[in-house]
Chains A and B, each alone.
Chain A
Amino acid sequence: MYTLKEKTVVTLRVNGEDRQALIRPGDILLDTLRDGLGLTGAKPGCLNGDCGACTVLVDGTPIKSCLMLTAEAVGHEITTVEGLSDTPIQRAFIELFAFQCGYCTSGFLMVCHALAGQMQTPPDAVIDEWLESNICRCTSYEEIGKAVRAVLNGEIK
């Protein structure tokens, strides 16, 4: 862990590439990704850890990037929605109408992608536990549940 005093250039490992960003010590990862690196897939929804729209993966684990300092992310492997390409969960979200406005979608995708990567056949309670971290105001959640289950049970590969 660094000690940062003023604006400093740091190197972040994002979607498999090293990227440099000029940050203040108090900058949150979400702002650095969006305003510093132009990766606007992660969205601000509350900046308070309540909505999950800003979720990215840090070393494969879903993290709310509004709650993580950029400085804390140095040295870790960050994956944003821009790092997903033609994954089963993206296809499932499209085919099963798991979004409307799309604003919550990158956050949900990251959670679902990580879940599918970490567990084979999680019980419903575990799926609920993973996905209750995020809010979608458009869908009924049923569609999102169907999409993640279709990936977990291999219907959509």
Chain B
Amino acid sequence: MSKTGIGVPVIRKEAASKVTGEAKYTADFLEPGTLTAQLVTSTCAHGVIAGIDTSAAAGVPGVRAILTGESCPELCGAILKDRPPLARGKVRYYGEPVALVVAEDAFLAAKAASLIKVSYEPLPVVHGPGQALEPGAPLIHEGLGAYKRIVADVYPEPGTNVCHREKVRKGDVEKGFSECAVILEARFKLPQSDHIAMETRAATASISADGTVFIRTSSQAPFEVRKMLSELYQIDEGKIIVEVPMVGGGFGGKAPVNLEILAYLASRAAGGRPVRLVNTREADMVSSPCRMGLEATLKLGATEDGILKAAEMTFLIDAGGYADIGPRLAKAIAVGCTGPYHIENVSCDSLCVYTNHPYVTSFRGFGHASVTFCIERALDKLARKLRLDPARLRYKNALMPGQTSPTQVKITASNCGNLQACIERVKGLVNWEEGDRLDMGGGKIRAKGIAAFWKTSNSPPDAASGAFISFNKDGSVNLNVGCVEIGPMMKTTAAQILSEALKMDISRIHVNMDVNTRYTPYHWKTVASMTTYMIGRAVLRAAEDVTDQLKSMAAVVMKCAPEDLDIGDERVFLRSDPSVFKSFRDLVHGYHYENGNALYGQMLGRGGFIMTDLNFLDRETGKGKPGPYWTVGAQAVEVIYDTVAHTYRLTKAATVIDAGKVLNPAMAEGLVKGGMCMGLGLGSREHFQYDPAGRVLDTSLRTYKVMHFGQTPEYLVAFVETPFVEGPYGARGLAEHGIVGIPAALGNALSVACGAELDELPLLPEKIWMAKTGGRL
């Protein structure tokens, strides 16, 4: 028998297709007769649309439709309906879609798009969330109070630029600070950046004669696409089919519904013909949503021996021009505001603030890489004040079973793992005891920084998933699950879990690689590192369903009690004598007697799952349970810093995560390393810069730099395994987490190295030079 089950490095199911060019992504499907849609985007960050002249474009032969904001009066949004699919009346960020041209081919679409003339009357620009809150700041959404709320727990503040405010109040902060020997105050500023999935977002749409809408899209959330289109355009959900093939990376950027709406509108305007809309890299960076920026103020208090007593924090999310999932980012930051530490007295205000920057959405870590940077940098400063080893400070304050989270969830070993073990392990990996700053001579310093993190789902309390199982006549299994294959091998993980549950060879389990909302069971979204948990639970239930059926059927055929039977290796066998058995293949499509009689039909298994004990957070105190568990971990970065040029080399990056149970060691390591690589990019180079008029300057991969081959450090990864009791075989999600503490650990290492406090990202040499010298040569 080849590989079975969990804990082994199974090769991903779609591996061969991905090394031969056979794997198909959304833009790889091209039916003859497909039209091309092209966006025209705003060149102004905040302005009134004075006019759009489409006459020259309309004259280009082969142009089938031109849409502007006037053609689509609806507003869309997942939390708050504040965004027109095409700007109407005014534009709120540079890159905002203002018109859409539909033509016979890409060449003609591009030609026509270039002939569309849009004129703007510029309005004063809001450059950041701090400025957005100043008295008299220009209002970005004058009609904020009138927007329809999609969820009950979003609280926009009309007449301001506050889209949402999330509060945490725990204990008595004033009293807490009065008990502190040391108080630390700090401010942080983190820029917007972008996902840069290598596949830019793409969608195709067509509408058939009976009104059925077909969407193919590079989405992490096909069922959300169906829901939103249904709701926006009053189409029955059953008449919308959303199909997602392989997706070329998501990182949260493909979770919101975005191009699908435009592709649908384009097809509708072209009589239902298939239309393809593929983002250029520039549009993918600035027109489609990007990653949040953050401004934060923190005040932490501790006793003389380094016990954290009180925290007071304000987080201002630079959400850009529209809400999208921003209010949930504010919630996630509030929920996790203390980091994985016990603080009795907490007051936190987390605001989602409109600015005239590109609007933001989920990004790997869902705000946690940002909040972790703030809290972990603050802890290092505090450790210096206390003259305590920064690793020791974290170890001392690590959340322990019996204590509570900021939103007053009781911590257990199961729901929060073992942070102290992670801290100890990561110290070993980077040889922490040798000291965090070593002068190597010749103007070179070798320095290390550490950071710990935690993250929960912050999902809707009723997020759900499902799994179907059917059998082939040879006894092999077909597994059908609704997670999208965006890279982290979720489909194979689902197959691994099923292989373990049915004790059968994973090569005999076939799993659908695509998602089609008509025949795939519902799955909330492939986000939040929740897929292993949610799909895993659904798969286990489906496995139990077929196991019960197999046993009760075999019991009749074998004339015994079902409880005397067990399964394994595609057989149902007598527990007392495994040599007495029936093969799956003889059972799963009915049992056939020699005389021709048959019993039972084909065997079908199903498993449904829904989150059970989550709830909405209290509006005033934040009290409530935001997710089923936390994944905790500790990370470290080592650099060699040049004291003259303020440049540095990344030499080591280490992560220890409490995974609960590692289901696939090779993939787990790969995901964590990939996360670290991205985290090093965020920490060291990635950011959007804007000109004084609010226009984004970094709109190509020429100027927006990501990590490249040859720039990476040695990666060190280890896992702690404290089971999460409700997880499949004890597993916690870990796909996002490699990124979370890395910018913080890098900031800590470089602050130690250069001897100045580095509180802004990215850590470019010129920023370090500024912090160190104040700009004096």
Mark out the residues of chain B between 672 and 714 whose CB falls within 8 Å of any chain A CB in the assembled complex. Answer: 673-674, 676-678, 700-702, 706-712
Q: How far is the CA of A135 from the CA of B702 in the complex (A)?
A: 12
Q: Is B487 an interface residue (CB 8 A)?
A: yes
Query: Are the C-beta atoms of B710 and A132 separated by less than 8 Å?
Result: yes
Residues on the B chain within 8 Å of A106, using CB: 21
Q: Is B199 an interface residue (CB 8 A)?
A: yes
Residues on the B chain within 8 Å of A139, using CB: 670, 673-674, 677
Query: Are the C-beta atoms of B712 and A101 separated by less than 8 Å?
Result: no
Query: Are the C-beta atoms of B709 and A134 separated by less than 8 Å?
Result: yes
Known contacts A43-B199, A140-B673, A143-B670: A101-B700 contact under CB 8 Å: no
- The closest CB in chain B to the CB of A46 belongs to B281
Known contacts A132-B709, A135-B706: A43-B700 contact under CB 8 Å: no
How far is the CB of A33 from the nearest CB of chain B, in Å? 10
Q: Is B14 an interface residue (CB 8 A)?
A: yes
Mark out the residues of chain B between 267 and 304 whose CB falls within 8 Å of any chain A CB in the assembled complex. Answer: 278, 280-281
Q: Is A41 an interface residue (CB 8 A)?
A: yes
Q: How far is the CA of A48 from the CA of B285 in the complex (A)?
A: 14
Query: Are the C-beta atoms of A101 and B248 separated by less than 8 Å?
Result: yes
Mark out the residues of chain B between 333 and 350 whose CB falls within 8 Å of any chain A CB in the assembled complex. Answer: none
Query: Are the C-beta atoms of B24 and A45 separated by less than 8 Å?
Result: no
Q: Which of A26, A40, A136, A137 contacts B21 (CB 8 A)?
A: A40
Query: Are the C-beta atoms of A131 and B198 separated by less than 8 Å?
Result: no
Q: How far is the CA of A46 from the CA of B199 in the complex (A)?
A: 9
Query: Are the C-beta atoms of B710 and A131 separated by less than 8 Å?
Result: yes
Binds A, one of B25-33, B377-385, B545-553, B629-637: B25-33
Q: Is A128 an interface residue (CB 8 A)?
A: yes
Q: Which of A50, A81, A84, A105 contacts B700 (CB 8 A)?
A: A50
Known contacts A94-B15, A100-B489, A101-B197: A144-B21 contact under CB 8 Å: no
Mark out the residues of chain A between 1 and 50 whose CB falls within 8 Å of any chain B CB in the assembled complex. Answer: 24, 26, 31, 34-35, 39-48, 50
Query: Are the C-beta atoms of A41 and B21 separated by less than 8 Å?
Result: yes
Known contacts A48-B281, A100-B671: A141-B712 contact under CB 8 Å: yes
Q: How far is the CA of A134 from the CA of B707 in the complex (A)?
A: 10
- The closest CB in chain B to the CB of A103 belongs to B248
Q: How far is the CA of A20 from the CA of B537 in the complex (A)?
A: 51
Residues on the A chain within 8 Å of B487, using CB: 100-102, 138
Q: Is B8 an interface residue (CB 8 A)?
A: no
Q: How far is the CA of A6 from the CA of B198 in the complex (A)?
A: 33
Q: Which of A40, A105, A109 contacts B24 (CB 8 A)?
A: A40
Interface size in chain A (residues, C-beta < 8 A): 54
- B614-649 toward A: CB 8 Å interface, digit per residue (1/0)? 000000000000000000000000000000000000
Query: Are the C-beta atoms of A104 and B21 separated by less than 8 Å?
Result: no
How far is the CB of B80 from the nearest CB of chain A, in Å? 30
Residues on the A chain within 8 Å of B454, using CB: none
Query: Are the C-beta atoms of A94 and B670 separated by less than 8 Å?
Result: no
Query: Are the C-beta atoms of B709 and A140 separated by less than 8 Å?
Result: no
Most buried by B among A26, A48, A85, A138: A138
How far is the CB of A17 from the nearest CB of chain B, in Å? 15
Mark out the residues of chain A between 124 and 157 whose CB falls within 8 Å of any chain B CB in the assembled complex. Answer: 127-129, 131-132, 134-145
How far is the CB of A5 from the nearest CB of chain B, in Å? 15
Q: How far is the CA of A109 from the CA of B27 in the complex (A)?
A: 20
Q: Is B103 an interface residue (CB 8 A)?
A: no
- A37-71 toward B: CB 8 Å interface, digit per residue (1/0)? 00111111111101101000000000000000000
- A88-115 toward B: CB 8 Å interface, digit per residue (1/0)? 0010011101011111111001000000
- The closest CB in chain B to the CB of A90 belongs to B19
- The closest CB in chain B to the CB of A83 belongs to B21
Q: Is B251 an interface residue (CB 8 A)?
A: yes
Known contacts A50-B700, A135-B706: A103-B198 contact under CB 8 Å: yes
How far is the CB of A153 from the nearest CB of chain B, in Å? 18
- The closest CB in chain B to the CB of A108 belongs to B709
Q: How far is the CA of A137 from the CA of B194 in the complex (A)?
A: 11
Query: Are the C-beta atoms of A137 and B709 separated by less than 8 Å?
Result: no
Q: Is B667 an interface residue (CB 8 A)?
A: yes
Q: How far is the CA of A41 from the CA of B27 in the complex (A)?
A: 11
How far is the CB of B686 from the nearest CB of chain A, in Å? 11
Q: How far is the CA of A141 from the CA of B710 in the complex (A)?
A: 8
How far is the CB of B494 from the nearest CB of chain A, in Å? 16
- The closest CB in chain B to the CB of A31 belongs to B106
How far is the CB of B236 from the nearest CB of chain A, in Å? 33
Interface size in chain B (residues, C-beta < 8 A): 57
- The closest CB in chain B to the CB of A80 belongs to B21
How far is the CB of B200 from the nearest CB of chain A, in Å? 7
Q: Is B561 an interface residue (CB 8 A)?
A: no
- The closest CB in chain B to the CB of A106 belongs to B21
How far is the CB of A116 from the nearest CB of chain B, in Å? 14
Q: Is B18 an interface residue (CB 8 A)?
A: yes
Query: Are the C-beta atoms of A137 and B712 separated by less than 8 Å?
Result: no
Q: How far is the CA of A97 from the CA of B669 in the complex (A)?
A: 10
Known contacts A46-B701, A50-B702, A131-B710: A101-B281 contact under CB 8 Å: no
Q: Is B72 an interface residue (CB 8 A)?
A: no
Q: Is A82 an interface residue (CB 8 A)?
A: yes
Q: Is B488 an interface residue (CB 8 A)?
A: yes
Query: Are the C-beta atoms of A102 and B27 separated by less than 8 Å?
Result: no
Q: Is B249 an interface residue (CB 8 A)?
A: yes
How far is the CB of A44 from the nearest CB of chain B, in Å? 7
Residues on the A chain within 8 Å of B107, using CB: 24, 26
Residues on the A chain within 8 Å of B710, using CB: 127-129, 131-132, 141
Q: How far is the CA of A35 from the CA of B106 in the complex (A)?
A: 11
Residues on the B chain within 8 Å of A103, using CB: 25, 197-199, 248-249
- The closest CB in chain A to the CB of B246 belongs to A102
Q: Is B715 an interface residue (CB 8 A)?
A: yes
- The closest CB in chain A to the CB of B36 belongs to A35
How far is the CB of B21 from the nearest CB of chain A, in Å? 2
Q: How far is the CA of A50 from the CA of B667 in the complex (A)?
A: 28
Q: How far is the CA of A35 from the CA of B244 in the complex (A)?
A: 20
How far is the CB of B532 from the nearest CB of chain A, in Å? 15
Residues on the B chain within 8 Å of A31, using CB: 106
Residues on the B chain within 8 Å of A48, using CB: 281, 700-702
Query: Are the C-beta atoms of B18 and A99 separated by less than 8 Å?
Result: yes
Q: Is B580 an interface residue (CB 8 A)?
A: no
How far is the CB of A138 from the nearest CB of chain B, in Å? 5
Q: How far is the CA of A19 from the CA of B721 in the complex (A)?
A: 55
Beyond known contacts A50-B701, A132-B709: 11 more, CB 8 A cutoff: A26-B107, A34-B28, A34-B30, A41-B22, A47-B281, A51-B281, A97-B667, A101-B487, A103-B249, A138-B487, A143-B670
Can you give 19 contacting A-B residue pairs, CB < 8 Å?
A: A40-B27, A41-B21, A43-B25, A44-B27, A44-B278, A45-B281, A47-B280, A48-B701, A80-B21, A81-B19, A82-B21, A99-B18, A106-B21, A131-B709, A140-B676, A140-B677, A140-B712, A141-B677, A142-B712
Q: Which chain B residues have a beta carbon within 8 Å of chain A's beta carbons?
A: 11, 14-25, 27-28, 30, 106-107, 195-200, 246-251, 278, 280-281, 486-489, 666-667, 670-671, 673-674, 676-678, 700-702, 706-712, 715
